[in-house]
């Protein structure tokens, strides 16, 4: 299964929205508007998985997929970092760092899976995780 579809299926399974953006057709302002519009449509408390374009590399025995995505929860919450962490980031850590990784292992070797916490992404209230990955399919 193509990695884009697999991530979309996982996001849908969690009740999250899914958006894939081609940055090569967007400048920074357009990308910011795209993400902002998706979160505004989602409403407070909803979560969106934003997938950047995936790099595919053909290798002798399979295909390597490298990329990044963000899982962001929309909010109008203007609390401090600790409050944002507890309310919006902490609930995503288990799902993203353990459950999603396990689901991907059904189809891929997960060679790299790293996240960083993000708050107030693009100057609007969206908090969550930014994930970098390297997957290999034989």
Query: What is the per-residue pLDDT for 2?
Result: 92
Query: What is the per-residue pLDDT for 26?
Result: 39
Query: What is the per-residue pLDDT for 75?
Result: 76
Give 37-92 as a DSSP string. HHHHHH-TT-EEEEEPPPEEEEETTEEEEEEEEEEEEE------HHHHIIIIIHHH
Query: What is the per-residue pLDDT for 107?
Result: 96
From first to last of its 138 residues, the chain has per-residue pLDDT tens of 799 999 999 999 999 989 887 655 434 445 556 556 665 565 567 898 999 999 999 999 999 999 999 999 887 667 788 988 999 999 999 999 999 999 999 999 999 999 999 988 765 678 999 999 999 999
Contacts of 38 (CB under 8 A, 6+ apart): 17, 19, 48, 50
Query: What is the per-residue pLDDT for 79?
Result: 78
Query: What is the per-residue pLDDT for 106?
Result: 95
Domain boundaries, the chain: 3-137
The CATH class given to the 3-137 domain equals alpha beta
Query: What is the per-residue pLDDT for 27?
Result: 41
Query: What is the per-residue pLDDT for 74?
Result: 81
CB 56 within 8 A of CB 67: no
């Amino acid at each position: 299964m193509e990695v884009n579809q697999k991530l979309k299926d996982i996001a849908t399974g969690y009740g999250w929205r899914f958006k894939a953006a081609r940055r090569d057709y967007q400048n920074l302002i357009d990308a910011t508007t795209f993400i902002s519009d998706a979160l505004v449509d989602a409403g407070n408390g909803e979560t969106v998985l934003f997938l950047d374009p995936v790099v595919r590399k053909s290798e002798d025995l399979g295909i390597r997929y490298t990329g990044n995505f963000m899982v962001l929860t929309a909010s109008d919450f203007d609390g401090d970092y600790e409050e944002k962490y507890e309310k919006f980031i902490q609930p995503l850590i288990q799902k993203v760092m353990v459950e999603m990784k396990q689901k991907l292992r059904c189809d891929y070797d997960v060679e790299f899976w790293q996240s960083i916490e993000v708050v107030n992404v693009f100057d609007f209230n969206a908090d969550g995780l930014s994930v970098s990955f390297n997957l290999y399919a034989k």
